[in-house]
Amino acid sequence: MTDKRMLIIGGTGATGSWFARYFVEKGFLVSVWGPSGRKEKAAEIGVEWADDLMEAVEESQVVVISVPIDRTVEVIESVAGHMLPGSLLMDLTSLKAGPMEAMIRSAPPGVDLLGTHPMFGPTMPSLRGQTIILTPALDRLGEWPDVMRSFFEADGAKIEVMTPAEHDRVMAVVQALTHFAYIGIGASLEALDFDVERSRRFMSPVYEIMLDFVGRILDQSPDLYASIQGNPLAHEVRETFIAQCRRLSDRIDAGDLEGFQDIMREAALHFGHTHQALERSDAIINRKVRRD
């Protein structure tokens, strides 16, 4: 594998640099490029800086796109046409329908296409136990998608394969709704001028875990989390969430405690396996209590 060249566009960003290091370990000759021109970051990672982007695209067997979501399609369209048959074009983006359509539309015949969504952040030390979603273009498959999958699986990652459309539907809840709810809690604490640190003196383990997850989201890039909300399918999900919050609040304000309970019971019935969820969360809480 040491004769295989890889270019990571956006390779000086957090995710791009994580995968640059990863693929160096796999024997690739990795070069990176980014619009910020951070050559010092390439040196820090231990990879080459691509001075001529299009020349690097033409010389690489694998081109990885790791740029902000709102620039992904534009970058794919600008570089895909320069790739040679037998090479692989893949992305590391949180949306899949638009990027995959751009790949299919722009890449020459014979170029393998692989949508890739690592469901973890660059603070993770390895792939072990992490999920990676693949959205291959089924009529544009050579050997490369299987090569990438074998790398990830050998390092302990769980691989899920789905269509780009299915991916975006699922991510509208798994990412967009989850982030929206946590950021909404953080924004509410700010609007209430609530003393978060003082509240830790009185907290239950569940509150502490919830608070740490809110803080985890708030500690990360607002640009990234805003762009994830750009999923075209997320609007309906957010509006449904807001409507259900209002529905619950209206029941309480009206003194309709039975109505509130009914909503909770209906949600539990749809959720399913709630007792198993209780047991799993108890295990997390108990581990935390023992550690503290």
SS (H, E, C) 159-194: EEECCHHHHHHHHHHHHHHHHHHHHHHHHHHHHCCC
Amino acid at 17: S
| pLDDT score recorded for residue 140 | 86
- Of 112, 99, 101, 102, which Cα lies nearest the Cα of 141? 112
- Of 291, 288, 290, which Cα lies nearest the Cα of 205? 288
Interval 131-166: pLDDT, tens? 999 999 988 889 999 999 999 999 999 999 999 999
| pLDDT score recorded for residue 289 | 77
Amino acid at 250: D
| pLDDT score recorded for residue 1 | 47
The superfamily in CATH containing domain 166-291 is 6-phosphogluconate dehydrogenase C-terminal like domain (1.10.3660.10)
User: Could you tell me the two tokens for 62?
Assistant: 């694998």
β strands within 175-272, DSSP E: none
Three-state SS for 240?
helix
Residues linked to residue 136 through DSSP beta bridges, in sequence order: 114
Low-confidence residues in the chain, pLDDT < 50: 1-2
| pLDDT score recorded for residue 2 | 47
Could you tell me the residue ranges of all domains in the chain?
5-162, 166-291
Q: Which residues are CB-neighbours of 128 under 8 A, at least 6 positions away?
A: 155, 156, 157
The superfamily in CATH containing domain 5-162 is NAD(P)-binding Rossmann-like Domain (3.40.50.720)
